[in-house]
Structure 1
C-alpha cells in the first residue's frame, strides 16, 4: 500500500484493515501474486487471522505489483519486505 494511502486511512498494522474491509463501501483494490493468493500461509491465513471481508480482485505476476500501485490500479499488494523496490 502506498504510504500516503496508509496515512489517509489511519492504518498502522494489518489488523487495522479489518474495519476497512468490513465497511459497506469498502473500495480497497487488492492485487496478489498467484502464489500468495493460494498459499495456505498467504492470503487465506490473513483472511482467517484478521477476519478480512474483502476479496482480492486481480492476480498479478509479482514483478508487476509495484507498477500497479504506482499507476493506482491496486491499493494493496503482497510484497517481500526485503525487496529493493520498497522504499524504507
Structure 2
C-alpha cells in the first residue's frame, strides 16, 4: 500500500498538471483569437498534399508498432513479472 504522503504528492502533481494544462490551453486559445482578429484572412493558401500518402499508411503503422514493441517490450515484461 502506498503511503498517505505519497498519495497526497501524486494527487497534487496530477492536479497541478491539469491546472497548468488548462492555463496553457486558455492562453493559446486567447492568443490565437487575438491574432485572428487582428489579421483578416488573405487569399486562400494552396492546399498541401499529405506528408504520408495513403499507400504508405499501413506500412508506416506497422513500422511504428514494431518500434514501440521493441522499445517498451522489456519494460512491459518487467512490470508483468512483478505482477502489475
Give TM-score scaled by structure 1 length.
0.16
Of Structure 1 and Structure 2, which has the larger fraction of its residues in helix?
Answer: 2
Give TM-score scaled by structure 2 length.
0.16
Structure with bigger gyration radius: 2
Answer 1 or 2: higher relative contact order, Cα 8 Å, separation at least 6.
1
